[in-house]
Structure formats: structure tokens, C-alpha cells
Amino acid sequence: MTEPAWLADQFEHWRPHLASVAYGMLGSVSEAEDAVQQAWLRLGRSDADAIIDLRAWLTTVVGRICLDMLRARKNHPVDPVGAWLPEPLVTEPAADGPEEQAVIADSVGMALLVVLDSLSPAERLAFVLHDVFDMRFDEVGQIIGRTELAARQLASRARRRVRAAPRPDRDRAVQRRAVDAFLAAARQGDFEALLRVLAPGVVVRFDLGPGREPLPTLTGAAAVAGHVLQTAPRFIASARPAVVNGAAGLVFGRRDEPLAVLGFTVSGGRIAELNLVADPAKLRHLAIQH
């Protein structure tokens, strides 16, 4: 018989992996935690002795839970104030240990999550489980109720959308140099320096949360640089470097009370995307960490 204590230890061992899968599917820390907790409850109601591969079983359960949550989200959409952005994952620049959120952040970046949100639930699940977490297509098909071929086609459609997005530089040092140059130019009010570090077609999105005046998505180096210089005097003093979803980024505000998180996509040494999350509900989990 499977001992409850052993089963609990095994579940905790796989929890970071399950949280990674759920976050990649949902883009929400709180919803990912709910999905993982539901998986634990389902495990408690199941015949654990009949489970051959616990990791695969739990991954399947979490995938199905997330699929249901995504479908419910699509069926009952909430109009966002401004752009929709994921709940950011933030670690200190020197935090290279095996913390759960660092594992998640290395798997799913903010720019990728923005693209994934434009996909259907089935496309998103097929791409995340296969391309990010190496699950076989026959297993993916079982989760979404499709054939292996259909799952392969869903992932292929999603992959085409992902490839259309800017391809981030993998070297964290390259990313950090671009972010540092951006921060220095913003602090100095140097418009030309900002233009040098911003890609010509740079995009900045704002997720400010309900009750605030929405800001439209800005495109183009001149427009973005102008906005940065207009707003920097109010916020730049509280900016500090951070790792945001596995990439170089910035956090504004105190560690126990973050005001905003700015995620960067650096491509070819220049900033191709900026994603500003200032919705207090999406930053609450960061304050809890401290």
C-alpha cells in the first residue's frame, strides 16, 4: 500500500514542475497555485497504488485543470484595462539557486506568455506541454481529447505565432547591458541614448489594473523614448535591477511593496519589447515573498 506520507513527499518533489506547467498555461501565479492544489486533492481521491508514473499522472491532471480554467476564461472574458500581461515572476539578480520561481522563470518568459494568451486553449496547452516541457504528442492528445496528429497540428500553429515574435537574446549579460543602458539614459534624461538602446519597432505594453486610466500600447523608438522621459522623473529613483521571468528587468518600489515590474525583451542587443505590470493584484505575490 502507498503510504500517505510517502505520497505527500513525492507530490512536494514534483510541485515545482507542476507549478511550472500551470504557470506556463495560465500566466498567473495565483491560478497556478490553485491548479496544483486541485491536483493534490484529486490525487487524494484516486487509487495511488494504480498510478505507474506519478509525474506523468500529475502533469496530465494539472494540464486538464488548466485547460478547463482557460476555457472558462475564454467563455467569460473580463475586459482588461489596457493590455493583458501575466503576473510577473521576480528574483534578485544574484539568485541562481534552485528556487521554484527561478525554475518557472527559466521556462516561460513574459514575451512568450503574451503571445500564448492570443492562442486557443488547446493550442496553448499543446505548445506548452510539448515545446516547453517535452511531453509526447500522444500524451498531449489524451489531455485535450484529440488525436496525436491533431495535437501535433495545434502545436505547429502555435509555434508559427511564437516565431513571429522577437527572438530574445539568451545571454543574460547582453540583456543586462541593454537594461542598464536604458536605466542610465532614463535617469539622465538622454533621448538620443534611449534611441540607441531601443529597437526601431520597439513595443511597450501597460497593464495598470482596474480603476486607472488605461494607457495604449506604444510602438516605435521615438514614441517610447518620449514616454519614458516624460514619466521617468516620477518613478526612476525607485527602480532596481531584477530578473523578471528569467530575463533582465526592473522593479519599482520597495521590496515589501512593489509598485510596478518592467519586463524587457532584448533582441540583437537592443530592447524590442517592454511590458509594464502595475496592477496591484498581479504584484501581491511579490510582496508576500518578502
4-86+120-163: CATH class: mainly alpha
pLDDT at 100: 44
- Give the Cα separation of 276 and 252 in Å (integer): 10
Same topology, domains 4-86+120-163 and 172-289? Answer is: no
DSSP letter string, 198-213: EEEEEEEEEE--TTS-
pLDDT at 255: 83
Task: Tell me the three-class secondary structure of 45-101, residue by residue.
Answer: CCCHHHCCCHHHHHHHHHHHHHHHHHHHHHHCCCCCCECCCCCCCEECCCCCCCCHH
Nearest to 165 by CA among 119, 234, 120, 98: 119
* CA distances (Å), origin 98, targets 16, 95, 109, 131, 246: 10, 9, 17, 22, 13
pLDDT at 209: 85
Asked if 114 and 7 count as a contact pair (C-beta separation under 8 A), the reply is no
| CATH 3.10.450.50 is held by the domain 172-289 | yes
Asked if 203 and 273 count as a contact pair (C-beta separation under 8 A), the reply is yes
User: Quick one: residue 281, left, alpha or beta (phi over 0 = left, psi -120 to 50 = alpha)?
Assistant: alpha
User: pLDDT below 50 — which residues of the chain?
Assistant: 1, 96-106
pLDDT at 47: 86
pLDDT at 239: 95
Contacts for 212-218 with beta carbons within 8 Å, 24 or more apart? Answer: 212/81, 212/278, 214/81, 214/82, 215/82, 216/82, 217/82, 217/83
What digits encode the pLDDT tens for the residues 235-270?
Answer: 899 999 999 998 999 999 988 889 999 999 999 999
Nearest to 263 by CA among 105, 110, 82: 110
Q: What is the CA radius of gyration of the chain?
A: 20
pLDDT at 290: 54
Nearest to 184 by CA among 227, 148, 229, 143: 229
Residue 219: its H or E element: strand 218-219
Asked if 224 and 197 count as a contact pair (C-beta separation under 8 A), the reply is no
Domain borders along the chain are 4-86+120-163, 172-289
